[in-house]
Amino acid sequence: MPAPAPAHAAGRRPTADAVGFTAFCELQWQRYRLVALLATGDDAEADGAVRDALGDLADQWHDALASPSVTAYAWPLVKRRITRNHPPLGELADELLLGRILHLTHDQITDTTGRPAP
**Does residue 118 lie within any of the structural domains?**
no
Coil/strand/helix, residue 64: helix
> Does a structural domain hold residue 98?
no
In a domain, 105, yes or no: no
Flag whether 63 is in a domain.
yes
Domain region containing 84: 16-88
Per-residue pLDDT tens over the stretch 67-111: 999 999 999 999 899 888 766 666 657 777 777 777 878 888 888
Domain contains 108: no
CA dihedral for 43, 49, 52, 56, sign (positive or negative): negative
Is 9 among the domain residues? no
Is 36 part of a structural domain of the chain? Answer: yes
Number of domains in the chain: 1
Q: Is 102 domain-assigned?
A: no
For the chain, how big is the Rg over CA atoms in Å?
14
pTM to 2 decimal places? 0.68
